[in-house]
Amino acid sequence: MPKAEVGTPKYLANKMKAKGLQKLRWYCQMCQKQCRDENGFKGHINTEAHQRQMLLFGQNTGSYTYQFSKDFFDSFMDILRRQFGTKRVKANKVYQQVIAHKDHVHMNSTRWHTLTGFCQWLGKSGICVVDLIEDEWWITYIDRDPETLERQRKAAKKKKMDKDDEERLLEFIEQQVERDKKRKDGENEEESEKKFTELVRENEEEKIKLELKVFKKPEVPIHLPPPAKISRIDNSDTMSEKSYKSTKSYKSDGGSSSKKSALEELMEQEERKKEQKNRKDYWLAEGIVVKVMTKSLGSDYYKQKAVVIEVVDKYRGKIKLLETGEKFKVDQEHLETVIPKIDGRVRILNGAYRDSTATLKSIETSKFSVTLEIEKGPFKGRIISGIPYEDFSKIYDK
């Protein structure tokens, strides 16, 4: 059938149809051609240009599938970041925004084929938090951009500084009122629990007797030498010598104790400075054993032990499961440190002795802390106690 002439109603109708979206099953991704009906799609399949494109696809299937998957992922994530940000949204709603564009990459040409498989892949990769609610997939984008985190921190700081003195005073007064109210409620409860009973004597004829025992202070005998044998000159010399020695010893002891306390204070001050300098909000390190503590990746990965093989952007790590050997990236919020056995080797991840290797000596379960002995470095042999569980982790021994 010949094409309609330019300017005719048929030509204009065909142009209007071409502008709108057509059915996806009549779209050829390799040729990027949209057919209007089934007959047109069959005719396109039999053309020489389509056959040539399919031969190219058959020769290098992996590269074409990878490129189509990358293009679809980029367009999907671009809409998710720009329109919805970190809010939870239906995955199908974002998908409808993607396919609204005429020249989008179709999902049937990617590695996922279905939206369900794509959502599960986003959750396993740690890109989004994925939830299945009433047979519908909901996703929440995890924004780890350093600029975004810095912008959020500055906004929170500015909001905190915007509060004037009057608001702070009102908050302080409200806290005092609540504290006083809780104290009064506690006193009322104690008074209600107290029960006062009347004093009743069982036998009225019986007399009350009070027995007070008085103890005399023992007398210490004082022995004095006979007056005839005292020599004033010798005795005065001896006493002066003794008093000189006692005074000298007292001064020397006092001086040593004061120097010791000053040294301890100096050491404590240095420890506090190191603690403030080395205390960070990120703790991941290569070569340590961690435990996966999130169910968003699937029940098979929950509480599985893994080794960190690479740290990405300080807050994310590439881990390898010890049982299956599977590798994937995950945020440090979904991981937990592992405590080895006694005399096991650990790495200190935070605090004054950050990045130091140590040996586990004892565990204090009541205080959720341990005692470690430094193995290497300038502090070799130093024993430190009170280290929290989250500040160290077991070193992976191959």
Render each residue's pLDDT in the chain as its tens digit; 398 residues: 567 777 787 777 776 665 555 666 677 777 777 777 777 888 888 888 877 777 777 777 778 788 888 888 988 988 888 888 888 899 989 988 888 776 778 777 788 888 898 998 988 888 889 998 888 889 998 887 777 777 777 887 777 777 666 677 788 888 888 888 888 877 666 666 655 566 566 666 666 666 666 555 555 554 444 444 333 334 434 334 444 344 444 344 444 444 456 777 777 778 788 888 888 888 999 999 999 998 887 788 888 999 999 998 888 899 999 988 888 889 999 999 999 999 999 999 988 888 899 999 999 988 889 999 999 877 888 898 889 999 999 999 87
Rounded-to-integer distance, Cα 262 and Cα 259, Å: 5
Q: Do residues 370 and 383 make contact, with C-beta atoms less than 8 angstroms apart?
A: no
Of 77, 142, 85, 122, the closest CA to residue 316 belongs to 142
Edge-first strand listing for the sheet containing 335-337: 327-331, 316-321, 305-312, 289-292, 335-337
The secondary structure of 62-108 as a DSSP string is: HHHHHHHHHHHHHHHHHHIIIIITTSEEEHHHHHHHHHTSTTPPPGG
Neighbours of 105 (CB within 10 A): 22
User: CATH for 68-160?
Assistant: 1.10.10.2030
- Do the domains 281-338 and 340-398 sit in the same CATH topology, yes or no? yes
Q: Do residues 118 and 112 make contact, with C-beta atoms less than 8 angstroms apart?
A: yes
- For the chain, what is the radius of gyration of the CA atoms? 40
Alpha-helical segments (H) within the chain:
9-19, 38-45, 48-59, 61-79, 91-99, 115-124, 146-162, 165-193, 232-278
Distances from the Cα of 202 to the Cα of 11, 208, 325, 347, angstroms: 119, 12, 82, 72
Helices and strands: H and E segment counts in the chain:
9, 15
What pairs with residue 292 in β-bridges?
Answer: 335
Residue 245 burial class via C-beta count within 10 angstroms: exposed 0-12, middle 13-18, buried 19 and up:
exposed
CA angle 133, 136, 140 (to 5 degrees): 75
Under CATH, what is the fold of the domain 340-398? Answer: SH3 type barrels. (2.30.30)
Instruction: For domain 281-338, say whether CATH 3.40.50.720 is its number.
Output: no
- The answer to whether the predicted template modeling score (pTM) of the entire model surpasses 0.85 is no
Of 161, 75, 163, the closest CA to residue 118 belongs to 75
Per-residue buried b or exposed e for 279-302, using 16+ beta carbons within 10 Å of the residue's own CB: eeeebbbeebbbebebebbeeebe
> What are the residue boundaries of the structural domains of the chain, listed by start?
22-59, 68-160, 281-338, 340-398
